[in-house]
A and B are shown apart, each in its own frame.
Chain A
Amino acid sequence: MNRAITTQRRSRIVGAGIAALAVAVVAGCGSSGGAAPSLGTGSSAQNVSTLVIANAVKVDTLDPEANSVNESIWLDQNLYSRLLQPNSTGTGLLPDLASSWKIASDGLTYTFSLRADAKFSNGTPVTASDVVYSIKRSRAFSGGWGFLLTAVKTITAPDAHTVVITLSEPHAPLLADLAMYAYSVVPAKLVQSQGSKFFQHPVGSGPFMVTSYSPDSEVDLAVNPYFYGTKPKIKKVRVLIVPNDNTRVLMLESKKADIIENPPGNLIQQIDANPDLNVKLFPSTRVDFVQLDEHFKPFKSQLVREALNYAINRKSIVQLAYQGHATAGASFMPYKMQYFDDSISPYPYNPTKAKQLLAQAGYPHGFNAFLITVSGDVAGQAEAIVLKSELASVGINLSIQSYELLTAYNKEDNGHSEMGERYWTNDIIDPDEVATFGADCQGGANAFNSYWCNSQANSLVAKARAELNSGTRQQMYNQIQQIVYQQSPFIVTDYSPYRYGVGDWVHGFQVTPLGNYDLSLETLTVGSH
């Protein structure tokens, strides 16, 4: 019967189809070399001219006034310049567009002299009017960083190379504020004429310029030919956006990326074990803390808050949440920043003392509380588990609630919270920002949403902001840190560093505590690999 032949033919067709598919797959494998991203041209040369960085988060915008994502901020800092820039340890400022500046004796007038050779990447010179325009623009941006400059009265450009800023009262952080990414200098005429479209292909005076911009997948940079500073040794930078942690690590291991951001904690050992790769930890301004809301009765008592500090073993948090790569936290200010009080040491682990304090405060049997964590935050979840078991041994029964990021923040900040995991990072190198947010209940953030109010701390914060003598300022900030340490409106758990996976063929990659790496991008080299 014909059926036998027909079904045979059918299976041959199917077989041919599968074979074709297999061929296609194999062809795909074969061409994988070609499909992979190319890593720079001169393979015969000692050094490769393109640096490939894999970031975890998409870029939000290249408009410095509107950035909110860290990775975008760090990108911006390579595209634009500011009047001043932070130094590599984040403890001082260096000249950038302003080659020198004079401060009047009453502290109310600052005169900046701009360097004459600064040019934008399209060749036009950077003038004082660009600077004035940029600062004013960013200052006026709704909900932006204008609040840093409330003391500023006028910003003028008496000539093409001078900028004068007058204040209504002395403001010590001014220079640090102006070094901030939001006050990057953009070409006034172009931004005025193109509006927000300008930032799709921006023109800045920084060491690099954008050649291709796909904020969700890749941003390409090339050297700004008109850059006035040290010409970078690399010619191009490719910033790839790879949200998946494992994929980033695999890219580093297969040498498709030279530097990766934030490798997951559990893979650090694996990366280090690889002879060609390193995990670099850079000191950051990140302070991890547990927020306490004083609307929750037990937390109104200073004894209870102190007890919590003794009940927590910071060493085990560092071990389990950060694989040992963090420092136990003491002062609420970022580790070793300007005016950091080194003499304050972390609360020791002492559950017995904790129980005593709780009993003194009227809670001999502990109490129940909830801890808000962010879902997806691996280190935070680990920390929560540690906290739960340690607090249980002093009678505090913690229930862990995990929410999506913004929902978590919303619930932590609404005045009906109990405990919550949060962190702080600096945007400027001056302590005024963190002090205002963390120690001053009038500062706008209710002292990290604890609703704790201490009038002495408040007045110190205001005084320190206006104090220009650095010795006196140091005294004031030391006092503030002591008050916060003793009163403990929130629990400082640790300082965690930035983590980067770096191929050892990359020489000279550094990240400053504020997170930016522009200085090192100018000097680093990428060897052949």
Chain B
Amino acid sequence: MTRFGMLPRRLVHLVIIVFGITVVTFFLLRLIPGDPALAILGSNYTHTRAVAIDNFLGLNKPIWTQYGVYMDRLFHGNMGFSFFYDESATTVIVSHIAPTLYLVCFSAVLAALISFPVGFIAGIRSSGVVDQISRVFFTLSFAMPGFWLGIILLLIFSVHIHAFPLSGFGSGFFGHLYYLFLPALTIALGFSTVLVRSLRAATITTLQAEFVDTALMKGIKYRQVLWRHVFRNSVLAVVAVFGVNLAYLISGTVLVENVFSLPGLGTLLVSSVSDRDYPVVQGVTLLFAVLIVVINLLTDVVQAALDPRVGQEIGE
């Protein structure tokens, strides 16, 4: 029970943090110059029309009242109404989730596919060829801005070699995977740097552990030891890294979605900040924050489940 003793406290923290985020987002947004009326009216802006729109959107009430209304609606599951999409903010956000979700999952899978073999081999044969090359390669890719890498990949694989489509999300499960390959690869390469290094380090550490020598002495084949013990332990050690990066990744998809014209949450966030579409910005930020917090919590839980000592330390 002490393993998960930290759970109730963490859940309370989660609620406090999410609440804090709604406050910060709400007030931060309204500090940005310009308002929805300006976005809607553009060059045809007149004070009279702007006031009418503000009244309609409830923006001329005192700010604490507006916040109260927002929180009240939120508790009833209503994220507000998007003036720009003429739909509830919830509907707008839900319709943009798929590309981002696919992208994040696909990137995670690609990153695992790339980094697990490479990191593992680099660890077993450290200072070997794979290790050296991967160090150079991943040092380079870590220093590359994601959007730049995306543009380069697009240039090579879409423009010069017509291997992949230029933009969009495609249709059908395999269509989505095809259209998302380049963007997912862009993200995966950045993601992989930390994974490879972590796995390599974990592999080296595990290899030196006593139980490996014990197993070998017992006569278990080296191959089996590698697979059953070293690999598994190393991968488990990397769980935390994986989970944390995943959370961080979610808010980083914006730039990649921009380069590849994907209609996901990142694109939605940028355009709704531009439009000052307050309910949608608040909704997406909330969603991101909840996702990040939940993923972090899950990562800690998995770690605690695997190693009780970790559970206690994290609870601090």
Contacts and interface: CB of A to CB of B under 8 A. Distances in A.
Q: Do chains A and B touch in the complex (CB under 8 A)?
A: yes
A2 interface: yes
B47 A60 contact: no
Interface in B172-227: 175, 178-179, 181, 221-223, 226
A6 B267 contact: no
Interface string A78-94: 00000000000000000
Among B120, B125, B223: residue with most chain A CB under 10 A:
B223
Interface string A399-413: 000001111011101
A60 B159 contact: no
A424 B47 contact: no
Contacts of B162: 29, 32, 254
Given A6-B226, A14-B121, A244 B261 contact: yes
B33 interface: yes
A25 interface: yes
Contacts of B158: 250
Given A243-B261, A409-B45, A215 B163 contact: no
Interface in B128-165: 158-159, 162-165
A144 B55 CA distance: 12
A60 B84 contact: yes
Interface in A387-436: 404-407, 409-411, 413, 422-425, 427
Nearest to B226: A6
Given A214-B95, A406-B38, A244 B45 contact: no
Contacts of A251: 166-167
B3 interface: no
A445 B45 contact: yes
Contacts of A62: 86
B49 A444 contact: yes
Contacts of A66: 83, 86
Contacts of B118: 14
A294 interface: no
Interface string A4-23: 01110111011001000100
A35 B43 contact: no
A147 B178 contact: no
B52 A10 contact: no
B310 interface: no
A17 to B, nearest CB: 6
Given A14-B121, A147-B46, A35 B170 contact: yes
A38 to B, nearest CB: 11
A241 interface: yes
Interface string A360-387: 0000000000000000000000000000
Nearest to B277: A60
A140 to B, nearest CB: 10
B312 interface: no
Given A68-B41, A216-B96, A247 B223 contact: no
Given A243-B261, A409-B42, A2 B223 contact: yes
Given A60-B84, A63-B86, A407-B33, A68 B40 contact: yes
Nearest to B37: A143
Interface in A113-160: 142-144, 147
Interface string B227-264: 00000000000000000000000000000001111010
Contact of B46 (A31, A406, A423, A445): A445
A297 interface: no
Nearest to A62: B86
Interface in B106-121: 113, 117-118, 120-121
Interface in B32-89: 32-35, 37-56, 83-87
Contact of B125 (A7, A9, A217): A7
What is the interface of chain B mostly: helix, strand, loop, or mixed? helix
B278 interface: no
A444 B46 contact: yes
A28 B43 contact: no
Given A2-B221, A445-B45, A35 B175 contact: yes
Interface in A25-74: 25, 28-29, 31-32, 35-36, 58, 60-63, 66, 68
Among B45, B221, B268: residue with most chain A CB under 10 A:
B45
B86 A2 contact: no
A7 B241 CA distance: 26
Nearest to B34: A406
Nearest to B54: A143
B168 interface: yes
Contacts of B44: 427, 437, 445
A143 B274 contact: no
A429 to B, nearest CB: 15
Contacts of A63: 86
B48 A444 contact: yes
A444 B47 contact: yes
A62 B260 CA distance: 26
Contact of A217 (B41, B165, B168, B259): B168
B124 A7 contact: yes
Contacts of B86: 60-63, 66, 196, 199
Given A2-B221, A25-B163, A215 B85 contact: yes
A484 interface: no
Interface in B261-282: 261, 263, 267-268, 271, 274-276
B255 to A, nearest CB: 12
A267 to B, nearest CB: 13
B178 A28 contact: yes
A263 B194 CA distance: 40
Given A2-B221, A142-B55, A216 B267 contact: yes
B261 A247 contact: yes
Contacts of B53: 142-143
Contact of A147 (B48, B166, B169, B223): B48
B38 A409 contact: yes
Given A68-B42, A243-B267, A406-B38, 20 more contacts: A2-B222, A3-B222, A17-B117, A28-B181, A29-B163, A31-B178, A35-B170, A61-B85, A62-B86, A68-B40, A143-B52, A143-B53, A214-B95, A243-B261, A244-B167, A250-B158, A251-B166, A406-B274, A406-B275, A407-B33
Closest 10 CB pairs of A and B: A444-B46, A406-B34, A143-B53, A142-B56, A216-B263, A143-B52, A61-B86, A410-B34, A142-B52, A410-B33
26 contacts: A5-B223, A7-B124, A14-B121, A25-B181, A28-B163, A28-B164, A35-B165, A35-B178, A58-B263, A61-B84, A66-B86, A143-B41, A143-B52, A143-B54, A147-B49, A214-B95, A406-B35, A406-B38, A406-B274, A409-B45, A410-B33, A411-B33, A413-B38, A423-B43, A427-B44, A445-B45
Interface of B: 32-35, 37-56, 83-87, 95-96, 113, 117-118, 120-121, 124-125, 158-159, 162-170, 175, 178-179, 181, 221-223, 226, 258-261, 263, 267-268, 271, 274-276
